[in-house]
Amino acid sequence: METAFDWITLHQDMIYIVVLSVFLGIEVIGRVPSVLHTPLMSGANAIHGVVIIGAIIVMGKADSGNYTALILGFLAVILGTLNVVGGFVVTDRMLEMFKKKK
């Protein structure tokens, strides 16, 4: 029990970010028209590609002799980039078509 409290105290700023971000996410999306559901889902999909930052750190930290870490990290960076780049490009393509209609 003691350690759990210590952990919370140690990470309290992160925990604040989590709590506030949860409410922010709800507020930001709250009144979105159904027309935009698909692009929004796709845009959010691209944003969680931030996980790529973790992949870059893993890759950059790996010792040059540790092949498992190098290979897995390499794969992780590729997958993360796919998520980010693919996600943003697909979203842009969808939204581009909405714009043309003016």
Partner 1 sequence: MELNILTICYLIGSITFIAGLKMLSHPESARKGNLVAAAGMFVAIIGTIFLYEEEGVKLGNYIWIFVALSIGTLLGTMAAKKVKMTAMPEMVSLFNGMGGACAALISIVEFNHLMHRGAEGQSADGGTLLIIFAGLIIGTISFAGSMVAWGKLNGSIKDFSFKGQHIVNLLIFGVIITLSAYLIISGDPAASSLFYVIFVLSIVYGLFFVLPIGGADMPVVISLLNSFTGVAAAFGGFLYDNPVMLTGGILVGSAGTILTILMCKAMNRPLSNVLIGSFGGGVSGGSGSKDQGAYKEISITDSAVVMSYAKKVIIVPGYGLAVAQAQHVCHELEKLLLDKGVEVSYAIHPVAGRMPGHMNVLLAEADVDYGSLQEMEQANDEFPSTDVVLILGANDVVNPAAKTDPSSPIYGMPVLDVELAKLVIINKRSMNPGYAGIENELFFQPKSSMLFGDAKSVLQQLVTEIKSL
Which residues, 14 to 43, sit near partner 1 by CB under 8 A? Answer: 14, 17-18, 21-26, 28-43
> What residues have CB less than 8 Å from 98, skipping those under 6 apart?
35, 39
Q: Smallest distance, Å, CB 3 to partner 1? A: 7
Tokens encoding 51? 């996980």
| Minimum distance, C-beta of residue 50 to partner 1, in the bound complex (Å) | 4
Q: Which residue from 43, 29, 24, 21 is spatially nearest to 93, judged by alpha carbons?
A: 43
Question: Which 37-96 residues touch partner 1, going by CB under 8 A?
Answer: 37-62, 64, 68-70, 72-96
Residue 70 CB, shortest distance to partner 1, in Å, is 7
- Say if residues 28 and 43 touch (Cβ distance below 8 Å): no
